[in-house]
Structure 1
Amino acid sequence: MRWSLLIGILLFFVPFANACYNPMDSLAVEVYLNKPGITYDLTPLKSAQNVIIENDSIIYRSHHDESVAVILSEDNGFLRVRVQIPAKSFSSTYAHASLVTPLLISEEMVEKAKELGWEVEGFTFKKKNLLVQINLSRGDECQNDSECATGGCSGEVCTTRDKAKEVITPCIYAEWYDCLRLTQCGCVNGFCTWKSNEEFEKCLREHNMDPSKVVKVPNAEVWIADYGKEKPSEEDLNEMKALFDVFGISCMLENLSFESETVESPTGVVDPYSFNFTEALRTELVWLRDNGIVRINEEDIEMIAKVAKMGKAGYNSHIGWYEKDGKYSWVAYDESDSPLLLRCVGQPFKLKLPPSQVELPQTSTTSTTSQQTESVCGPGLILGLLLMVRVFRK
């Protein structure tokens, strides 16, 4: 139970990364502007009002939400832009529960979960303040589909290739055998089994056959956490029920008992689950561009904003220009090809905000105005004198 709890906490603070993190990363989004061609000049900010310069970082209030900070820092000749929600406390309460049930998860189930708004990575499902982590037990019958084969008089048994030759069944054809054309025999979580899918299971039920008697279903430990709550709200329970309906285990929620626990972790001054990290980072990059502090094009800003979300910050999970699947793009570092992740835990930090919104120094427009005046008035004066001469001649 403690191991499951530890895994859940790690996943909460650093979404889908069990490596180096600072607990404050869970309240932030950060981009490392390391793409060639992107340049910056921090001079205007260094002489601006309402900024804090501390430990070689520049801090000012976000233009998206003044209760949130923007932290700029230089790193190996590139600029880091971090939108950070300050912590109002360094402890939080959450409700958690766990259960063990036979479970198989198909690709169709995963897609349905995504349609319901759940973020999915492996068998970890996140939505706002909810986290559901599923640890499927693994067999040792096989490692890939080629190690499995069908046996029996009608080929109705899926087992290991060695055992398939020895399987003997009555040569009586059952109607549900027709359903086997909707699936295939293969290796799932180390078991040789008929692969589950919605159409296959529906067909089995129509022939009065329980899918669990045909598909080998391993046990799974399901760990559930509802962060910021002493017990799940009715809305949160409905969200979990909808997800568990997809897995066919919603009945397990009826007698599930949640426990409350307080852990040392930062609680933001604003709710991080309702805070729009995408728009906050986009707004800041546009402001930096429009004020000549960062030279970056609109396409890059939109690509960065597209992958910006809560927790994409810190050494392991920040957004940067990295190679993924052999192609460079804006992506979280831990999702890039062969990231060198650090396994460590930092201390949460307190964050002080300037008294009000940043004010950049006013640039003088005297010379520009003077040039414009000369360019208009000079020729106008000459033309006027010429006209006067012509008038006097008449």
Structure 2
Amino acid sequence: MKGRSVLIFALLAIAAVVIAGTSYACVSAEDPYSVEVLLNKPGLSYDLSMLKSAENVVNVNPELIGVSGEVVVYKSHYHDDLAAILYESSIETAEETISVRLTPKVHEVTEYRYKTKAQISKTEFEPHQNFSHLTTPEDLEIPGWSIKQSGGGCVADECFYSYSAEYKENDNWIEISFFPPERTRGGIEIDIETNKELSEELKNEILNVISSMFYLGKPDFQKIRDALHEMEKEEMKVPEPVFNFTDEEAKEALKTELEWLSNTGIIKGLTDEDIQEVKNTTKVGYAGYNSRIFYEDGKWIPYSESENPEMTMVKAVAVCSFSLKGIQIPTQDVVITETESNIGSPEGDVVTVVLGIVIVILAAIGVVVIWVMRRW
């Protein structure tokens, strides 16, 4: 299931580039099982120098992962199989800042897919339900199914949109993709993919969903029925995290990392309230340019939920090489010298104050001793 999500995410990203045009944002096949926060809140600052010189930290060439600026990778402070990636990044309305990303180590697993497709004569969607025509396919309410827009583009004054219908039950899933004529140069193409052989009951479910998207004539209906009886089985190697990185794990992991970065002084200005709000917002998959958490209008939210339309770039994306593949993630904890770790941290401030008090006391004692000696 996790591997499927990764593949679907990457394929949709590529499709969106083809449909949408020339405005690009960077996404990665690792985003669906990662979490990330861009620390763009005004007043926050960072200094990677002590990390770059610390033990058990890898300084990565930015070009290897498709970003600009400095990049460091180390073992997270939450789980041995979870990598922490800090890299310099930015958004349109803010100066370059730091992004904190957590990505589990992965291994390849073998999964199977059952696929088929059919092209029908329809060139437009005709969503309908209970004898009423609906505005968009997203208005359909079919138990067990989630229908949503998955892409779009315009040619001259004519716009086309693709949709997907997803079904999930336990470890069984079905994905139906509807591609517009602008892509297919003909009628709408319907692609069906599942992870298990379909029962007759599920085949009828699929026919019901598709029949709700269009007023199908007998020839088109038969095309789809025939396609469902001619599904091809494919073996695939897909990446899967080596441990179950759940939403709860992600919340605690990101909280732990932000606290460590703050306590060491690598990040300054991040409050306990900020960290708690980031934790509350965190979900697995909130990573990458369009989905990572960031600060806007006094709150930490996923980038895709921004109310600023100039900042939301989900309509046009490009696949980049942001990946841990080929990077040797350290197996030991980060080691920063005590002097460096105290710089700018609460502990460092306490040490400075204590030393100051000691010096003042010693100076006072010295003055008293000299005064007494002179009286003698």
Residue 256 of structure 2 is matched in structure 1 by 283
**In the superposition, relative to structure 1, how do residues 269 and 7 fare at CA in structure 2: closer, same or farther (>3 Å)?**
closer
Alignment of 1:296-315 (within 5 A): 296-315=270-289
Residue 330 of structure 2 is matched in structure 1 by 354
- How far is the alpha carbon of 1:223 from its aligned partner? 7.5
- How far is the alpha carbon of 1:69 from its aligned partner? 0.5
Residue 101 of structure 2 is matched in structure 1 by 82
Contact 2:47 2:266 in 1 (8 A): yes
Measure, in 1, the Cα distance between the counterparts of 2:246 and 2:147: 16
1:320 equivalent in alignment to 2:298? no
Task: Specify the code of the residue in structure 1 equivalent to 2:332.
Answer: S
Measure, in 2, the Cα distance between the counterparts of 1:128 and 1:64: 29
Alignment of 1:116-135 (within 5 A): none
- Which of 81, 92, 100 is equivalent to 1:67? 81
- How far is the alpha carbon of 1:367 from its aligned partner? 7.7
Task: Specify the code of the residue in structure 2 equivalent to 1:288.
Answer: L
Contact 2:138 2:147 in 1 (8 A): no
Measure, in 2, the Cα distance between the counterparts of 1:72 and 1:8: 22
SS at structure 2 position matched to 1:316: coil
- How far is the alpha carbon of 1:287 from its aligned partner? 0.9
Deviations 1:77-120 (A, max 9, x none): 2101000112223x54256799xxx988999x99x99xxxx999
**In the superposition, relative to structure 1, how do residues 382 and 8 fare at CA in structure 2: closer, same or farther (>3 Å)?**
closer
Alignment of 1:221-300 (within 5 A): 261-273=234-246, 276-294=249-267, 295-300=269-274
SS at structure 2 position matched to 1:265: strand
1:30 equivalent in alignment to 2:3? no
Measure, in 2, the Cα distance between the counterparts of 1:40 and 1:372: 29
- How far is the alpha carbon of 1:301 from its aligned partner? 1.5
Alignment of 1:1-394 (within 5 A): 9-11=7-9, 21-55=27-61, 56-76=70-90, 77-89=96-108, 92-93=110-111, 261-273=234-246, 276-294=249-267, 295-322=269-296, 329-336=299-306, 337-338=308-309, 339-341=312-314, 342-347=316-321, 349-363=325-339, 371-383=356-368
SS at structure 2 position matched to 1:37: coil
Q: Could you state the TM-score of these two structures normalised by the residue count of structure 2?
A: 0.54
Measure, in 2, the Cα distance between the counterparts of 1:131 and 1:37: 45
SS at structure 2 position matched to 1:315: coil
SS at structure 2 position matched to 1:59: strand
**In the superposition, relative to structure 1, how do residues 135 and 50 fare at CA in structure 2: closer, same or farther (>3 Å)?**
closer
**In the superposition, relative to structure 1, how do residues 106 and 32 fare at CA in structure 2: closer, same or farther (>3 Å)?**
closer
- How far is the alpha carbon of 1:132 from its aligned partner? 6.2
Measure, in 2, the Cα distance between the counterparts of 1:45 and 1:282: 19
Identity of aligned residues (%): 27
Measure, in 1, the Cα distance between the counterparts of 2:256 and 2:282: 12
Measure, in 2, the Cα distance between the counterparts of 1:331 and 1:131: 29
Measure, in 2, the Cα distance between the counterparts of 1:310 and 1:389: 73
Measure, in 1, the Cα distance between the counterparts of 2:251 and 2:12: 17
Measure, in 2, the Cα distance between the counterparts of 1:379 and 1:127: 76
Q: Looking at CA atoms only, which structure, 1 or 2, has the larger radius of gyration?
A: 1
Aligned residue pairs, count: 272
Gapped runs of 5+ residues in structure 2? 18-25, 62-69, 91-95, 117-127, 131-136, 150-164, 179-189, 199-230, 343-347
Deviations 1:268-327 (A, max 9, x none): 2223347711111111111111111112112222222222111111122222224xxxx5
SS at structure 2 position matched to 1:317: coil
- How far is the alpha carbon of 1:225 from its aligned partner? 5.7
Contact 1:14 1:317 in 2 (8 A): no
Measure, in 2, the Cα distance between the counterparts of 1:313 and 1:265: 19
- How far is the alpha carbon of 1:224 from its aligned partner? 8.4
- How far is the alpha carbon of 1:133 from its aligned partner? 5.7
Contact 2:5 2:32 in 1 (8 A): no
Measure, in 1, the Cα distance between the counterparts of 2:299 and 2:147: 21
Q: Aligned-residue CA RMSD in angstroms? A: 5.2
SS at structure 2 position matched to 1:356: coil
Task: Specify the code of the residue in structure 1 equivalent to 2:57.
Answer: V
Measure, in 2, the Cα distance between the counterparts of 1:54 and 1:8: 24
